[in-house]
Each structure stands twice: as C-alpha cells, then as structure tokens.
Amino acid sequence: MVPAGLPYLAPYIFNAPIFAGTLLAAFWYGRGLARCETRPARWRILAFYAGVAAIYFVGQTRFEYAAQHMFFLNRVQQTTFGVFAPFLIAFSWPRDVLAAGVPAGLIRLCERPAARAALRALRFPPVAIVIMLVTTDVWLIPGVNFASMINPPLYAFMNIAMILSGLLFWLVVLDPRPRAEAGYSYLTRMAAGFLPMFPQIAASSYIALTSTNLYNFYDLCGRLYPSVSPMKDQMLGGIIQWIPPGMLNTAVLFVLLHAVRKSEERQVADMPIPPGARVIEARWTGR
C-alpha cells in the first residue's frame, strides 16, 4: 500500500538504474552547463531534459501502474524508453556538456583501450541496428512479453535494455559531426536511421491488424479501462508501436540533411579565400 500513498511523481516501482541514471544525468548535465564556456542552444538543453524527464515519468511514476494494466499504455512506455526519449537526448547531442560535468574518474574509465574498443564495436551502424531491432522485437513475442510482465526482475531488465539500446542507436544515427570525427558518412547514418523502419512496420502492423488476441496478460491482471476491449487495446498498442516511431525514422533524413548543410557551411567559412577572389555560388543556397 505504500507506493499507492506516495505522490504521483515518486517512484511507484523502484528501479535503481533508471532512478539514479535519470537524476545523475540531469545533475551532470547541469554541472556541465555551468562549466562550459560556450553553452549549447536553448532547444538542445530543453531536448535533453525533456528526454531524461520522459524516461523518469514513464518508468518511475504511477504511470508504471497504468503501463502494466493496458497494452497500449505499455507501448507508450516502451516506445518512450526505446525511441522518443533517446531520440530527444541524441538530438540534443549532450556529449561535450556531459564530458564537462561527469566525474573525471568516469572519463578516464571510458578512455581505457578496452572501453574504447567496445564502444567502437557497438557504434558500428549495423551492430547498433541489430541490437535495437532485437531488443525491441524480442519483447513483442507474446510468450516473452507474458514472462516479462509476471517477472519483476525481468520486467526491470526489459525497461533498462530498451533505454540502452535506444540510446546507442540514436546516438549513432543522430551524430551531427562530419565523417572524420564520427567515423561514418552522413549517408550511412541516414540509411541506418531509415531502413530499420521497415521490419518495425512489419511487426507492429501485424499486432495492430491481426484478429488474434496476442497479449492475454492484461486479461489476467485486469484492465485499467474495462470499456476498452482486448482487441481494441491491442490495435491501439500496435498503432503506437507503428506510426510515431516510423515518423521519427523519416525525420532522421531531414535532421541529417541539416547537419550536412551546417558542416559544409563551416568548411566554406574556414576555407581561406585568395586575395582578389570572390565566391560565385554556394552549394546549398545557390547564391
């Protein structure tokens, strides 16, 4: 009875990695902002804190109860963990700010050869894609989903795995740096962000359109909204898993095209112009 008596924003089912991770990330980012000579744009700051707050809200507040009693709300939670919140965090590109805010010992740990080699392997786009797809789709298998919902340690592991795989994928795809720094071309990152949409559509559209009740856990535990039938609940969950993430996969193309434009503008600005020469045409604007 204690969790039900706590304020809505207090941890309903305490998950130490999510609780500590979100609070530490917010604290370290704030400390990094105070130490940085050049602050990032305001929208980047808002995007980072919105992503961190979204993870905390769907994973630690009383929303957790709703996610365990309606399939479509569970999909809201899991797509927030694996897609929306990591997208916002990666879109803010907090690398430099966090580097200024985290403890120096943690930076040294991440710079060890073994850690750098492991990170390099995980950041290889095909590896990041496979990890994201497997982590997302394995929990949609009805038997695995049922097992995770009735087993609290497995349920907690599912949530953490979704967050980590989403962060890995979107930090690779939305890396705004040029190829020399990121390690992969913008075209490779566009393909990595766009192509996984198709297997995800196949799985989520089947969930939304099938006439078979795939997830009977919610019939056993009781539904939060009894007026929503099991099939309608499943259809809504499939649509949530299907359409909004697909829109983000498409948005990646425009985000990276903007990054390409900014990169070329920086190259042009840094290029020395010989005396007496003048620019006739810019590649993007045509001026």
pLDDT, tens only, 213-261:
999 898 888 889 989 999 999 999 999 999 999 899 888 888 888 888 8
CA–CA gap between residue 52 and residue 172 (Å, rounded): 18
pLDDT, tens only, 146-194:
999 999 999 999 999 999 999 999 999 999 888 888 889 999 999 999 9
Q: Which residues lie below 8 Å from residue 85, measured CB to CB, with a gap of 6+?
A: 51, 52, 54, 55, 163, 166
User: Tokens in use for 112?
Assistant: 């060890």
DSSP letter at 196? T
The closest alpha carbon to 135, from 178, 83, 72, belongs to 83
**Could you give the residue ranges of the DSSP H alpha helices within 38-103?**
42-60, 63-67, 71-79, 85-92, 95-101
